[in-house]
Amino acid sequence: MITSLTLTDFRSYASARLELASGPVVLHGPNGAGKTNLLEAISLLTPGKGLRGATAAEMGRREPGEAVGRAWAVMVELDDETRLGTGVQTAGAARRIVRIDGETAQPGRLLDYLRPVWATPEQDRLFSDARAERLKFFDRLVFAADPDHAAAVSAYEKALRERLRLLNDAQDGREADPVWLDALEARLGEGVVRAALGLSLLATTSPAAATPAPAPAQAFSSENTVAR
């Protein structure tokens, strides 16, 4: 659980620090006050580009007349006192670095500590657009509670791509290796079973599946409570 969030020269914040209690947190304030910036900061503590899909160079705070964003940093502290951080060390840098307890780390290691999931207004067509996008979203939801689910889905998708490549080769006149094809079919079946088992176990064992969402434990105004 995140117990504090600290920002330095990130987006609209010169500096900010939030001390967080356990339970849901509400951010409120007018449009443009910086609420989404706080959520984006947390979303960066996972591999990828975060909820806005922005580049690292776009995230640094700019004063009038500055051509590029400043060096910036985001850090959270967890309830076990682990510190997770990310940012860039030079203005306008294109790649951000990740640190765990002050030591440089691979982005994938963040998943050992946090697995955030988000839904944004830009995703409002999620349930009316292509089915594939909904499936990806549901996979992320399950992965947040069961990291092994990601490995099952990844193995399934890899086998599916290899099978498609074999079938395309056969259409081009090259004979597909039946032994290889059988092996891929077996891997596809294993991946489906593993993913389905994970989903069923999660549905029956997760307390969240049967517990109503609790009331907010804290509320922050992005105009008044957060130092900017």
* Tens digit of each residue's pLDDT (9 = 90 or more) over 85-112: 999 999 989 999 999 999 999 988 898 8
- The mean-pLDDT minimum among 49-53, 114-118, 144-148 falls in 144-148
Q: Quick one: average pLDDT of 169-182?
A: 78
- At residue 75's C-alpha, the angle toward residues 38 and 27, to 5°, is 20
Q: Quick one: average pLDDT of 163-190?
A: 82
Euclidean distance between CA atoms 135 and 150, whole angstroms: 13
* pLDDT at site 49: 86
- The count of other CB atoms within 10 Å of the CB of residue 205 is 10
- Contact of 158 with 168, CB cutoff 8 Å: no
Global pTM value: 0.69
Category of 220 on φ-ψ map: left (φ > 0), alpha (ψ -120 to 50) or beta: beta
* Tens digit of each residue's pLDDT (9 = 90 or more) over 133-142: 787 777 777 7
- At residue 140's C-alpha, the angle toward residues 187 and 18, to 5°, is 150
